[in-house]
Amino acid sequence: MKKILHIFPMIVFFIFYNFYDIFIASASLTFTSGLICILHWIFYKELDKMSLFSFCTISFFSFLTIFFHNSQFIKWKITIIYLFFSIVLLISQFFSNKPIIQRFLEREINISNVYWRKINLIWSLFFLFCSILNIYIALCFSEKTWVIFKVFGFTTLTFFLILVTSIYINFKIFKKK
């Protein structure tokens, strides 16, 4: 359910973009991101920090997009979010006993700290790659191409890395037995 909540704003953004324009889509993205924070609070009785961070970032860049009537602002939002994720993962990689990914998943998955560090580093590099790719697509392609890639391309890339990470973890678990 939590994952569906996080995908919902992107779907709404895509639908509103196709029926209206980037400015209405940006406003709808802000609204649905705020709604996700509220729903997360209602269903799980906790404030999801990632949803709140996304909402604040989305609100800021959507406001700039609408106020200045310039779609470049909303295009930079995902770059900033991915850079933030990459930096946080790298900081945890080198300045913490446990990388962040291990802290999130170690209750469900039992693998060596060395493997957690590899996974954490791969995800950090992935987010860095996605932030650079977003800049490239935003600057070199049409707005419509950027919207399609933002919604479907990044989602596909993320699901692919989740699959590869899952296979890697399962391989390490079975190798350990």
Of 170, 162, 153, 128, the C-alpha closest to 3 is 162
**Cα gap 21→74, rounded to integer Å:** 12
Per-residue pLDDT of the chain (177 residues; tens, 9 = 90+): 566 667 888 899 999 999 999 999 999 999 999 998 888 888 888 877 878 888 999 999 999 999 999 999 999 999 998 999 999 999 999 998 889 888 888 888 888 888 899 999 999 999 999 999 999 999 999 999 999 999 999 999 999 999 999 998 888 777 665
The DSSP call for residue 68 is H
3-class secondary structure, 177 = coil
Long-range contacts of 158-165 (CB under 8 A, 24+ apart): 161/122, 161/123, 161/126, 165/119, 165/122, 165/123
pLDDT at 39: 85
pLDDT at 12: 93
- Report pLDDT for 2: 61
Please state, in angstroms and rounded to a whole number, the distance separating the CA atoms of residues 50 and 37.
Answer: 9
Predicted pLDDT at 87: 96
The first and second tokens of residue 20, run together, are 């209206």
DSSP single-letter state for residue 149: I
Q: How far apart are CA 164 and CA 75, in angstroms?
A: 28
* Alpha helix segments (H runs only) across the chain: 2-19, 22-44, 49-68, 72-95, 100-105, 113-140, 143-148, 154-176
Q: What is the pLDDT of residue 3?
A: 63
Number of Cβ within a 10 Å radius of residue 152: 12
